[in-house]
Structures are given as structure tokens and as C-alpha cells.
Amino acid sequence: MSLKLTFRIWLLIIVLLFSILAIFSFPPSFLKSGVLITSVGSNSTASQQGLLQGQIIKSINGNPINNLADFSAVISSKFPSNQSQKLDIVTDGPEIIYYSNQTPDITVSNIPKTNIRLGLDLVGGARALVQAQGLKLSSSQVADLVSVTQNRLNEFGLTDLQVAPVSDLSGNNFMLIEIAGATPNDLQSLIAQQGKFEAKIGNQTVFEGGKNDIASVCRGDQSCAYVNVPQQSSNGYIAQFQFQITLSGAAAQREADITRNLGVNSTAQGRYLNETLDLYVDGKQLDSLLISQDLQGRVTTQISIQGSGSGATSDDAVKNAEDQMKKLQTILITGSLPYKLEIVQLDTISPLLGTAFTNVIILAGILALFGASLVVFIRYRKIKASLALILTSFSEIIIILGIAALIQWNLDLPSIAGILATIGTGFDSQIVILDEATHEKTLSLKQRLKRAFVIIMGAYFTAGVSMIPLFWAGAGLLKGFAFTTLIGITAGVFITRPAFSDIIQRINGD
């Protein structure tokens, strides 16, 4: 007997098709070849020559790029180099000509097979719950803090970064930071400091970090930002770094006014003013720079910033100097955070742990799905009804994943637990429908199914109300569970279960 497709069954089919398109896109991303650019260094040669985050690199100098191994092989064969190299980079957009003696300042990854974004629990990294030290911030103040912090962390070229305002049931507001692939120490070093940069001559502030005083900062260009050859010391190696910044007109005028009346000292290296330009970060002196007599009273916007890094080996010293330079450049670009922060909770998530949990949960979901279907078949002795139950339950999962992909929701372990909860509530509702449909009663099948939906709607509103507090409980860490559960039970009540009811009616020949 053929199954006549009702409006509610067609609605389920259409929603499923749109969900599948949201998950895999069109054309499907798993059919694409190349590597995805996940970040491009700010003010770098790569960004200046047209490489953008989100582009897909398909070939370099005629060599097809299908995965990370292909990309690494081509790049490592060209860099580092004493001479400038030309790369003809074919992307899914424009063709880029990259010309430099430095490796392109970009990070790449394999193209994701789906549009589903996985949370920190599944890919690994660090998570911090942060609040302002000694202050209770309002929701608008936390929103401002999130914006500034997001800008600062983006300057580090971090990907898979989530910064969001959260609150608990007591009304306390926090900032939640999640960075995939980072360690707790990395995250702590990024946000523990307020990052207030000051350049002083004597006790007078010449300029501070941020857009008001800093017009531009050189990054990723060896001509104006570099690390010198490390020098051996008693404790290992020390490498000096140096980069140029451009001051705003007001900051340059301020420096001219302060230096105009300073005295001059003669040294073996030349003639310098009798005061130095002292650099401070969060009140701690970073370096002290001599000021040439030529700059006295002059309005100059070009300033050279210096510092150092150390390490047990020469390579370690260079790496440490590069990291210190990058942090200082970021502080100069973004300015200081509006508040001094303290970390309330700091966690590390292992990707192996997340993968193991995911595999167990998926296996548990499959076993639950087919186990419950087997019980339904044994109870009602109807193979068609059992298959309909499996298909409608599976369709709820597809719809949840499609909505999550569409709105770019990060699926974490609580979210997956919510999907499992949806499967459970879906089975409960569908068994109610089957019970009403199969028992001999004086009412018609349509009336019995209507009565079943009264029960289902009551359970839906009860579950929905119980999920709402979870958006704030635990400072929002259970938000994923509440979100997927609400989406799942809503899709079930308004799409899948009405369709299941129509299918049962057609199976029973009503």
C-alpha cells in the first residue's frame, strides 16, 4: 500500500532537505580540495598582497594543493630563503602573486567536511571564566569587555576562538573565553594582564597603547620588525627584537613638548638627551631607550620599540623574543583592557578525551535508537511502525544539526547530551502516539491521536520551562544542553511528531 504524503509529511521532508544543505552546503564541502586559510597576520605581507581568512588555496606555482601535507611540502621547499620567492597562489577567489623572502604569515587547515562547528570539549584547548577584579560589572560593561578582548585575541591570529558574556543565576556577569588548541598557561598569559602600555620621559606620559596615540604598528615586515641574532649569556641566550610604530600627531607633539627643555649628555655612542624613553606594561618597566639629540623638540611620528627574549638555546631565545614582540605589538594596537581581570575558573580539555566521549555517546545513541525500536517492534508487532519511529527520531537529529550549522552554534559535550535527551523524549512521545493508535477504543483514530498530542504538548511545555534556567546555570556552561534539547523537542512537537502521526494513520489505513 503506497503512503500518501500529507502536508505535515511534506513539511518534514522539506525541513530535512534544508537541514542537510545547511550541514553539508552546496556543493558539498567534502567534495572540495585545497586548504582553508584560517588566519592571516595583521599588517603582514600576505595580507597586503591579498590573502584573506576564509579563502581556499587550490594550487601554488602549478602544484595542486589537496591537503596540509601538500601545502607544507611546497612552502618548505621555498622558505626560509635569502632571496625573495614568487608564489603564484590560486584560490577559490582571485589569483594571488606572493613575493617575499619570508614564509607567508598565514595559518591553514584542511577544509572541514561539514559546516558543523565543534566546541572546545571535542577539539581540545583551554577555557577560562573571567571577571573584573574587585568590580561587579553590568551586562553592558561585560559586553564592552568582550569586544575589547575579542579584538586583542584576534590580533594574535588565534582561530577557533570564542569570547562571550555569560551570567549565573545570582546575577553575576562573567566573560567566557574558549580557545581551541591552547593550553591553560597560554590562555592565562593572554588575559591575566590588563596590558596597559605607557611610554614615559621622566614622570610624564608621552603615549599609550591604543588607537588614540598609535597610528600604526609594523608587523610581519622584516624591514621594520625583526629579531637580531641571539647573543650568548651566562644563563643561555638573549635575542633583541625591534619594531617601528607610527605615533598620532597629538602624541608626536606631546613628545616634542616634553623633550624641548631637556639637557644633553655626551657618550661614546653619541649625544643623547639626559632623560630616557621608558616603556612600561602594567606598571613594570620593559625597557629604557636613549633619545638622540636630533629628536629634541622635533615632532616625529616614527618611534622604534625594543625589547628582548631569552632561552636555553639560540632557537629558544628567538622564539621567546618573537612571542614577546608579538604581545607588545598587540597591546600597542589594541590598547589596554578596561579592567584588571581575574580568572575564576581555568580548565584544559583534551581532544582525545572529547573524541572518546563523542564516540561513546554516538554509540550509545545508536544503540538506544535501535534498542527502543526493537522493543517497539516486539510490543506492537509492526515493522512499518518501528521503521517510521526510527526515521522520525533520526530526522530530529538531522534538524538539530542543521540548525546548529546554520547559526554556527558550537556543539560541545552538553550539546550532544541534549541530542540524546531529545531522542529519549521523542521516543516517549511517539510511543504515546502508537499506544493511542493501536488500542481498541470507542473514539476514532484521529480523536485518539489528538488526545495523544494533548499529552505531548503538556510534556513539551514542562520540558521547555525546565530548560530555560540552564541557559544561565553554571555561568552558561550548560547552555549547549538547553539549546539542543529545546531545538530538538520543538522540532519534534511541531514537525516530526505530527508527520509521524500522519504516517501511523496511513499505516493503519485510516
Q: Please answer whether residues 456 and 436 qualify as being in contact, where contact means their C-beta atoms are separated by less than 8 angstroms.
A: no
What are residue 411's phi and psi, to 5 degrees? -85, 115
Quick check: bond before 27 cis, omega within 30? yes
**Is the pTM value of this prediction over 0.75?**
no
Ordered mean pLDDT values, 10 residues apiece, the chain (510 residues):
72 90 80 80 71 85 87 82 82 84 79 76 73 82 78 59 79 80 62 73 85 81 83 83 88 89 79 85 76 85 83 83 79 71 74 61 72 73 77 84 82 77 75 66 58 66 72 65 82 82 72
Give the chain's largest Cα–Cα span: 110
Three-class DSSP category at 172: coil
Q: If you count DSSP H runs as helices and E runs as strands, how many of each does the chain have, helices first?
A: 14, 23
User: What amino acid is encoded at 503 in this protein?
Assistant: I
Burial class for 440, CB neighbours closer than 10 Å (0-12, 13-18, 19+): exposed
* 220 DSSP assignment: S
Quote the pLDDT of residue 409. 77
Neighbours of 283 (CB within 10 A): 8
- The CA distance from 409 to 414, in Å, is 12
Nearest to 327 by CA among 419, 162, 209: 209
The CA-atom distances, in angstroms, between 198 and each of 189, 214, 316, 492 are 19, 11, 28, 58
What are residue 82's phi and psi, to 5 degrees? -75, -20
Q: Please answer whether residues 161 and 149 qualify as being in contact, where contact means their C-beta atoms are separated by less than 8 angstroms.
A: no
Q: Please answer whether residues 246 and 207 qualify as being in contact, where contact means their C-beta atoms are separated by less than 8 angstroms.
A: no
Q: Please answer whether residues 218 and 245 qualify as being in contact, where contact means their C-beta atoms are separated by less than 8 angstroms.
A: yes
Quote the pLDDT of residue 1. 43
H or E element that contains 85: strand 85-91
User: What amino acid is encoded at 101 in this protein?
Assistant: N
Quote the pLDDT of residue 17. 92
Work out whether the CA dihedral 245, 247, 251, 256 comes out positive or negative.
Answer: positive
**What domains are there in the chain, each with its CATH number?**
7-27+351-507 (1.20.1640.10), 33-110 (2.30.42.10), 125-193+344-348 (3.30.70.3400), 197-336 (no CATH)
Q: Please answer whether residues 217 and 243 qualify as being in contact, where contact means their C-beta atoms are separated by less than 8 angstroms.
A: yes
Q: Please answer whether residues 96 and 86 qualify as being in contact, where contact means their C-beta atoms are separated by less than 8 angstroms.
A: no
**First CA to last CA distance, the chain:** 12
Cell numbers at 498, concatenated: 505530527
Three-class DSSP category at 209: coil
